[in-house]
Structure 1
Amino acid sequence: MPLALTAVIAAEIEDHCGHRPFKCRRLDMGWTVAQAVAAAHQLVADEGLTKVGLSERSWKDWEAGVLPSPDYQDLLCRLFAANPVLLGFARDYSPMPADPLWNGTEASATLPAGQTIARGTSPAGTVEVAETKRRDAVKLAGLALAAPVAAAQVLQQAAAEAVEFTRKAGATSLGSGTLDHSSLAVTEFNHAYPLKPPKAVFGAVLGYRRKVDRFLRGGYTLPQGRELRAFAGWLSELLAWLAHDLGNVRTGVAFATDAFVQGQQAGHGQLCAWAMDAAASINLYEQWPAKAHEAAVKGLAEAPAGHSLTVRLQAQAVRAAASDDAEGFTAAFHAAYRLLVLRSPRRFGMDVLPLTSYPATSFIWLGQAEQARQHAEHARDL
């Protein structure tokens, strides 16, 4: 969008809707919060700036009035081609510039030859009263309403700019088959997980995860960016399990966390939920039930409504309760069983039936050996 018009639109939104200037700037671009965050990350990549951990939560806090740090203010001013004052991050205490429609600021000032008094002004006053915020914004942008010829020239050039903006929106450095190849790679790695040694699979998956990271540092469209983030997340989720299998807890948790963040950036709730399922399992086997329960709850918050993955995450919460809270276990256990009307999700090419085996480990932690044996035999018979 031509810069000459963004200030106009933002001022109109602020005037009619009462939003803060920073939010108005996002709305005049037509962006959702997720799209604005993605655009900021793309700007960082395009201009080679220091990578940032910008999230939708931080962006919403800024729109609610929380002041960004100086580094983030600089990034946001770059993004919107504005200054901190226009974004509402600071105040301008400098004297107001003289109005271009007047020869002075005194009551005796006269209009330039050929000009008439603007509606809503008074020659008896010491300053001109602006007709609307929109008019002020137009002047700040260099489109004085008193000069229609100049305004027409600016808008004519802006039309050519709009064509170029549209062309750039579809520009990408990704090859035509890159996304298809990445999708196939993720599928093949998932198939290999239960069939090949973890050490061999880990090296191959990590190599491809690095390749996707390089893709993310190149040029791509917003839809392509979401797909790449999703591929990165699925690879990191698989690396979390592989690291756990290889006995490295720290690496496993780190990749589970990365998978969750990539899923959030991609707007992929199911990926976020699977990432927290991995984190919950790793923490449970390391006897950190509180962290496991936290991960399970975090995953449940991201899981799509009515999705069968909620069965598995609820079961993870049951196991965490059995390990840490014997009194809360029974309620959690029955709540999980009520979800069994949903089909259990699939992962790594096979059905995942957590409530057939998880009760056995849960009752072991509770010290109820007979109950554990019964549930283990039931799982075996299935």
Structure 2
Amino acid sequence: MALTIPRRLPRRPTKQVIPTKRRTALALIGGTALTPLMTPGPASAATARAYAQHATLTELGPSDIAELEAAVDGLGTLYSSQPPHELWPTAARMRHRVFTFQHERRHTLREARELARHAGMLSVILAWVTHDLGEGDLVQAYCDDAWAQGEQADLPEVGAWAEDVRSTHALYDSRPLDALLAATRGLAVAPRDGNAAVRLSAQVARAHARLGNHHEFERAAVRARDYQAQLPLHGTGLFGVDAVRITSYDASSYGWLSHANRARAAAEEAIGHYRSFPRPLQAQERLALGEAYTVSGYVLVHEAGDAFTIKQLCRRAYPLMELLGLRRVRLYDARSSCFTFLANNGVPDHILARWAGHTNIKTTKRWYVKPDVEDLREAATTWDGLHGVAEEGQA
């Protein structure tokens, strides 16, 4: 028996839906939480106002964010004048303060971005400080944290500054390829024509120079010099840029590339700019401060007359070594090299002791005057006069 399939299926009987009943059903399904939204009138407006109020609830005081801003600016300014072991406690304490705000205080979404920005910049400062202290693992850790905080703040520039530190650290650690990779990563996210972009452009150039890539260095250096024409001669602060810095980078870069004449010219130009920077004389400082001036008897002193610490001297000596293309050594070792040079060139013992600040010349000779390879080679040549030089062909 054949089945007959109708062309159209019969429609189900329709049921009239009353809007008010549908709204009631949705409210029942969603629970009481949806009831205010589905009920027009004063309750709906109150809910909207509650949403707005909830978005602005915060436990942060009006001065908390401002304090962090001032801390980042202050530490950046003090970086070049205070030794790292003195900067460390303040920077570490402020970084932990931000962590407390982030995880233990209620804050708005806008404040969360501000906290992440300041956390990232404080980690950049801590990365520089740990670099100066020779703590390589901490440098990497703080750079990674700066990247993470910059992403949360939606500010890639924070990560760019972190790569500036990482590139410098790798270069001093004899890892020029890592320095190049770090500078390139930072340059990719740095705001165009900003301070971070200028610094990283110069970092890319000198990393290529350290690798011996002549053509790549020249190409990268062109970009850095384009920025140089628009920069002030002298900059201030950890995050500042200036024309002299790029010139000093050229000096060390040409030294690595074995272009002695160009390295010397760049070094002399940079040194000339540094010397032209106006600085008050000690006599003027002493006259201005009166009894507040400390007469320490030292030549290298602060504006108030206090002698520089070893860390402060290192902070000034290491850039000069880099500027002149010299191998970075401890100032203690450089001191020994200077006294050895003076002794080998006939400076009397009592003068050596006076220069060293020793009352006993034996101390100077025992700890600071050390023969090098060339001295030993001259001694070996002297031995030839004692036993004679074997003629060619003799065993």
Structure 1-normalised TM-score? 0.59
For residue 82 of structure 2, what is the aligned residue in structure 1? 196
Identity fraction in percent: 31
Partner Cα distance (1:109, 1:349) in 2: 75
Work out whether residues 308 and 343 of structure 1, in 8 Å CA contact, stay in contact via their aligned partners in 2.
Answer: no
For 1:139 and 1:107, locate their aligned partners in 2 and report how far apart those are by CA, in whole Å.
31
Name the CA shift for 1:329/1:211 in 2 (closer, same or farther; >3 Å).
same
Q: Which residue does the alignment assign to 1:174?
A: 60
| Alignment partner of 1:223 out of 100, 110, 115 | 110
Aligned to 2:260: 369
- Taking a change above 3 Å as real, the CA distance of residues 143 and 207 of structure 1, as seen in their structure-2 partners, is same
Structure with the greater relative contact order (CA < 8 A, sep ≥ 6): 1 or 2?
1
Cα distance in structure 1, aligned partners of 2:257 and 2:171: 14
- Count of residues in correspondence between the two structures: 251
Per-residue CA distance 1:60-97 (angstroms, 9 max, x = gap): xxxxxxxxxxxxxxxxxxxxxxxxxxxxxxxxxxxxxx
1:314 pairs, out of 198, 201, 212, with 201
- Provide the rounded CA distance (Å) in 2 between the counterparts of 1:188 and 1:194: 11
- Whether 1:348 aligns to 2:251 is no
CA contact (8 A) 2:27 2:38 kept: no
Q: Which residue of 2 aligns with 1:51?
A: none
Change over 3 Å in CA distance of 1:328–1:348 after alignment to 2: closer
Within a 5 Å distance, the mapping from 1:258-273 to structure 2 comes to 258-273=145-160
Q: 2:182 aligns with which of 295, 303, 315?
A: 295
* Equivalent residue, structure 2, for 1:328: 216
Tell me, yes or no, if structure 1 residue 237 matches structure 2 residue 124: yes
Deviation at 1:359, TM superposition (A): 1.2
Equivalent position amino acid for 2:237 in 1: R
The equivalent position to 1:109 in structure 2, one of 8, 12, 33, is 12
Would the alpha carbon gap of residues 172 and 152 (structure 1) be closer, same or farther in structure 2, given more than 3 Å must change?
closer
Q: Give the Cα separation in 1 of the matches to 2:228 and 2:139.
A: 29
Aligned partner letter, 1:263 = G
Deviation at 1:347, TM superposition (A): 2.9
Matched residue SS, 1:347 = coil
Contact 2:126 2:142 in 1 (8 A): yes
Of 249, 254, 257, the residue aligned with 1:358 is 249
Structure 2 residue ranges without an equivalent (≥5): 1-8, 30-34, 274-395
Alpha-carbon contact 1:308-1:342 (below 8 Å) kept: no
Unaligned runs of 5+ in 1: 1-105, 119-137, 145-149
Deviations 1:80-135 (A, max 9, x none): xxxxxxxxxxxxxxxxxxxxxxxxxx9463334x449x9xxxxxxxxxxxxxxxxx
| 2:47 maps to which of 132, 136, 161 | 161
Whether the 8 Å contact between 2:231 and 2:241 is mirrored in structure 1 is no
After TM superposition, the score normalised by the length of structure 2 is 0.57
